[in-house]
Every structure is written in structure tokens, then in C-alpha cells.
Amino acid sequence: MNLLLYALFGTCTGAYGLTTSSQLVKRDDAGLSIPKYRISPIDGSKIALPTKEQLAWQDNEIGVIIHFEIATYLSVDGCNNIPNLLPNQSLFDPTLLNTDQWVDTIKSLGAKYATLVAKHNCGFTTWPSEVTIETRDNETIPYNYTIAQSPVHGKDVVKSFVESADKGNIGHGFYYSLMWNNFLNVQSGDVITSSWTPGQVNITNSTYNQVVLDQLTELWTQHGNLTEIWFDGGYTESQQANIQNLIETHQSGAVVFNGCQTNGTCISANPVRWIGTEDGAAPEETWSSGVTNDGGDPQSPFFCPAECDTTLQTGDRWFYGVNQTLRSLEEMKDVYHKTVGHNCVLELDLAPDRSGLIPSNQVARYKELGDFIKSCYGNPLAHEMTRNDKGVYSFSFKKPTSIDRIVLMEDQTNGQVIRSYQVFAKIAGSQASHGDVPYTLISNGTSVGHKKIDLLENAISVTDVLVNSTYVDTPKWRSVSVHLCDQ
């Protein structure tokens, strides 16, 4: 009985009332965004407020990041930290390139958007960039390390990808590496002046920054509205203001990965953050606010949801690897539960092979994972539901029903307000001394956010389920559902 009273009335204290009006998004004198938040009517804490673009991005739940570039043709996984590696353009020869096949694979996974690596650390662009470069000798030359100098000149991977994404009705975005470019001898954002490899172009840092802006302008003005912009490793201080202005001018609706620095300065009103690992597991307690590369901070005034990027290939391999093994379906199910199920958007790598196609074994694994997600979570067990004004969510079944997991979703329109939750159930066959079936705690946790999935150790048969929470403002449950998947 004490558990039931606890569930019905909760543990939060403080007066209930209307929330205070939220701040408008403002910028400081340097033009940097500052957080938008409101004040909790219960304890006076700050509640970070999302943009509609951030919430829409979280609704995607699964995206892919496509690694396909000249590094696809290397034995190593890219030009990372190898300053003198400059693969010849003649290597890039995808004779069977089919971006429609990529999108078919993406959709079979259930992903709602895809981010293409348009330029990685080698410096090779998969579109025919028309940017020019001013050398240290004051000579103006074309940026001639592109698909236009490859055996498939006349093709444009970026354009083809966007057209396929549009046909397949999925969102599209671009990854562009700002901090590394072997063609221009750039490492960690700075041009190296001490040594040069044949084929590298001798430029200044200011010229490099101009090349970055010019190429980003090409990408961001010729391919419609982007879902996501990816900055791997961030950006330099000297690039920050110009990139921020470019985003606001051309792609203000895109979410920006690594859009905030850990000191809280952001280049976008729609930042998202890295979870801090590439193994496909977010902390059990992952918040939608905070700017550090971890599980976040419920006290942070910055709404900056987390993204979990990971690979399907083993060994943290991003570009296609010859004879590289794949992670098992069971491991990928675990990845799904520890990312999407921990309030983190899963961005799973897609690695076309050297012909320009997704290999058949990868196609099959993506579909297996997508089929599992649809079969397990596509049809929640039917129930009769009620809610009360204290944020309690309860439902009952007409007959004892077996469940083995709970899916909780919070309405974050006015910020993430739930600080902990408890799930109780009346377990069939459990009788109290007066004939009443008591409520038993079957699951609990802290952050819910967009989605939290709790897996029960074993399936149980229940007649009623009740969810209670502690909070900094009365929560609005978006949904609570139960499922039976491991039969």
C-alpha cells in the first residue's frame, strides 16, 4: 500500500503553477549563441529549452553516416594522423556507384536521415569543387584534388546522394572535416610549414580558412535544406565566427554535430553533442542538456541532445575494409537499446565498397536490425490508459499479459523535466492477504528524455502498470508502452 501511495502522489515538493515565459535565443557581442531556458516553478532551477529542429532530429532516432571517399581504397582507415599520406586521385574509381542502393539499405534499417562524408581528412572532395587556392607564391590554382580529377570525372557523389535521399524521402546532411586536410598539409586546424609531401599545396592559414568557407558554401547552398551538419573534431577559433554566419545565412534549420564547445559557446541554435565514445553505448543516465561529451547535465541551461556514432564493421572501422567482419545482430540489438534506448540518437556507419555499392552482407545485417526493431517495437501491447495532473501514467489490461520491456517517452517541448521515474506493476498471480494484488516496482531510472527503454530480466505477466516520477515541473508523458519481444 505504501508503494501505491508513493506512486500516486510522488516525492516532489513545491507549488504547482504555470511555467515562466522562456527567454528568446540571444547572442552576445561576439555573435555567439547563449542558452534558452526557463525557470522551474518547483525549485527555481534552469530548464533548458529545445528548438523544434532539435526535437525533430531526436524523433529520427536512427541516422547513418556514410564513409565513402578516396580513403575507401586504402588499407588503413583514412588519412587520420598520417600527414604525408596523399593518395593519388586515380584510386577513386567506383565503377558501380549506385546511391539509390545506399538509400534502399538505409530505409531497410529504419533510419530517417543520412549524413555523407563529403570531404574527410585526406582532403579529397567527392564533388567537383570549383574553389581556387592562393599559394604562398601568390599563384591562384584550382582545388584539384576532387572527383573531377579521378577516373569517374563527370560524376558527383554528393549530388547523386542528395537526389537519392530526396527520392527515398529521407533527410540528408554533410560531414566536412575542418581540422584536417592532407592535400593542403593541414593538421589540427593549422598548416604545417616544416615539411611537405609531393602533391601538397603550400598555403597560409588564412588561405585555408577561405578554402573551408568556400567549400562549405558550395555544399550548403547547392543541395537544399540539410538535416545535419557534421564537424568532426570541431573548428578553430579563427573559423568560428564566419562558419556561424554561414550556418545562419544558409542552413539555420540544420542540427550541428559538435555545435557547442565545452565552455558553452555555440555556433548554432540547434547544436547536438557527441556522447564521447564510438562503441555504440550511451550512459544509462543520458540527458538532453549539457555541452560536454558524455551523458550530459540536467542542470545545464543548454539543450544539446546526444548523438551516438558507431560502426557496423568490427574494430572501429569506418571506411570499407577488405574482409572486415561485421558485428553480430545480437550486438547490434544491444547497440540500439544502449543508444536510442538511452536518449541518444544512433548514427550508424554505412561503408560502400570500392565498386560504390553497400556489400551484400552489410545490406543483410542492416535489414536484420531494422526488422527486429519493427517487430519488437512496432506494435505495443494494447491497454486502457489514464493520466492524472501529478504526472502519473497508468494503464491496465483486460487479462493478464506478458511483458519483457517498457518504453518511456517524455514530451520535451518545454524542456526535459523528469528527474527520475519508477515503473510499478500488478503481477498476475500475486495475491495480498485481503485479496488485493499489490503494486511491485519492476523498473526505475533517472533520465527519460526522448526515449528510455528498460529491459526486464525475465518476462512477467501483469494486469496493471503505473509510472510515477520526480520532476522540476509537472511532466507530460508523450507515451509509455510495454512490449513482449523475447518469446
What one-character DSSP code corresponds to residue 182? G
Instruction: Establish if 29 belongs to a structural domain.
Output: no
Number of other residues whose CB lies within 10 A of the CB of residue 271:
22
> Does residue 54 sit within a domain?
no
- Dihedral angle sign, alpha carbons of residues 40, 46, 47, 52: positive
Q: Is 152 left (phi over 0), alpha (psi -120 to 50) or beta?
A: alpha
Query: Cβ distance 48 to 300 under 8 Å?
Result: yes
Distances (CA, A) of 247 to 229, 370, 442: 9, 33, 46
Q: Do 389 and 369 sit in the same domain of this protein?
A: no
Q: What is the pLDDT of residue 284?
A: 97
pLDDT confidence of residue 76: 97
Q: Is residue 48 part of a domain?
A: no
Average pLDDT over residues 261-274: 92
Query: How many C-alpha atoms does 305 have within 13 Å on its Cβ side?
Result: 31
Reported as a pLDDT band with limits 50, 70 and 90, residue 2 is very low
Domain closes at, from 377, 408, 443: 377
Q: How many domains does the chain have?
A: 2
Task: Judge whether residue 156 has pLDDT over 90.
Answer: yes
pLDDT, position 26: 59
| 18, pLDDT greater than 50 | no
Domain match, 323 and 409 both: no
Quote the cell numbers at residue 30: 561576439
| Segment 431-439 mean pLDDT | 65
* Last residue of one domain, picked from the residues 377, 398, 426: 377
Residue 134 falls inside a structural domain:
yes
Judge contact between 112 and 168, C-beta under 8 A.
no
Please tell me whether residues 352 and 395 are part of one structural domain.
Answer: no
List CB contacts of 270: < 8 A, sequence separation 6 or more: 51, 53, 54, 57, 252, 253, 254, 255, 256, 259
Comparing CA positions, the residue from 142, 81, 147 lying closest to residue 118 is 147
CATH of the domain at 129: 3.20.20.80
Quote the crossing angle between the two packed helices 99-109 and 157-167, to the nearest 10°: 50
Whole-number pLDDT of residue 212: 98
Identify the pLDDT of residue 391: 85
**Do 211 and 236 belong together in one domain?**
yes
For the chain, give the number of residues. 487
Q: Indicate if 336 and 213 belong to the same structural domain.
A: yes
Answer yes or no: do 371 and 398 share one domain: no
Rounded-to-integer distance, Cα 127 and Cα 444, Å: 49
Q: What is the tens place of the pLDDT at every residue in 359-416?
A: 999 999 999 999 999 999 999 998 777 888 788 999 999 999 999 999 999 999 999 9
pLDDT exceeds 80 at position 52: yes
439-468 burial: b if 16+ Cβ within 10 Å, else e: beebbebbbbbbbbbbebeeebbbbbbbbb
Instruction: Give residue 32's pLDDT.
Output: 54
Are 244 and 267 in contact, with CB atoms under 8 Å apart? yes
For residue 21, is it within any domain?
A: no
- Can you give the pLDDT at residue 158? 98
Handedness of CA 442, 443, 444, 449 (dihedral sign): negative
User: Does residue 22 form part of some domain?
Assistant: no
Residue after which a domain boundary falls, among 327, 357, 377: 377
Residue 17 has pLDDT above 50, yes or no: no
Residues 405, 290 share a domain:
no
Query: For residue 408, which of 468, 334, 486 has the smallest C-alpha distance?
Result: 468
Predicted confidence at residue 233, as pLDDT, reads 87
What integer pLDDT is reported at residue 22 of this predicted model? 31
Which residue's entry shows cell 543516465? Answer: 285
Q: Report the C-alpha gap between 112 and 183 in whole angstroms.
A: 33
Neighbour tally for 94: CB within 10 Å: 22
pLDDT of 435: 52
Residues 325 and 454 in one domain: no
Domain that holds residue 9: 2-15+380-483
Cα–Cα distance for residue pair 470/326, rounded to 1 Å: 41
- What DSSP string describes 72-87? GGSSSSSSTT-TT---
Same domain, 205 and 104: yes
Nearest CA-CA partner of 344 in 418, 287, 300, 407? 287
Bridge pairing between strands 190-191 and 186-187: antiparallel
Has residue 454 been placed in a domain? yes
**CA nearest 51: which of 422, 325, 305, 351?**
305
| Alpha-helical segments (H) within 96-178 | 99-109, 157-167
pLDDT over 60 (residue 431): no
Query: Looking at residue 28, what is its pLDDT?
Result: 63
What is the per-residue pLDDT across 212-248, written as a single tens digit (0 to 9) for each?
Answer: 999 999 999 999 999 999 999 889 999 998 999 999 9
- CATH value at residue 398: 2.60.120.260
The 10s digit of each residue's pLDDT in 67-122 is 999 999 999 999 999 999 999 999 999 999 999 999 999 999 999 999 999 999 99
Question: Cell numbers at residue 151, please?
Answer: 577516373
Q: How do residues 343-373 score in pLDDT, each as one tens digit?
A: 999 999 999 999 999 999 999 999 999 999 9
Dihedrals phi, psi of 290, to nearest 5 degrees: 115, 155
In the prediction, which pLDDT does 464 show?
A: 94
Integer Cα distance of 224 and 166 in angstroms: 10
Same domain (yes/no): 215, 66: yes
Q: Maximum Cα–Cα distance for the chain, whole Å? A: 92
Instruction: State in Å, rounded, how far the first CA of the chain is from the last one.
Output: 32
Q: Are 385 and 355 in the same domain?
A: no
* Percent of the chain scoring above 70 in pLDDT: 92
Cα gap 461→31, rounded to integer Å: 57
- Please state, rounded to an integer, the average pLDDT across all residues of the chain: 91
Residue 30 belongs to a domain: no
Give just the sign of the alpha carbon dihedral 204, 205, 207, 208: positive
Residues 137 and 255 in one domain: yes
Confidence band, pLDDT 50/70/90 cuts, at residue 30: low
35 pLDDT higher than 70:
yes
Q: CA–CA separation, 404 vs 285, rounded Å?
A: 21
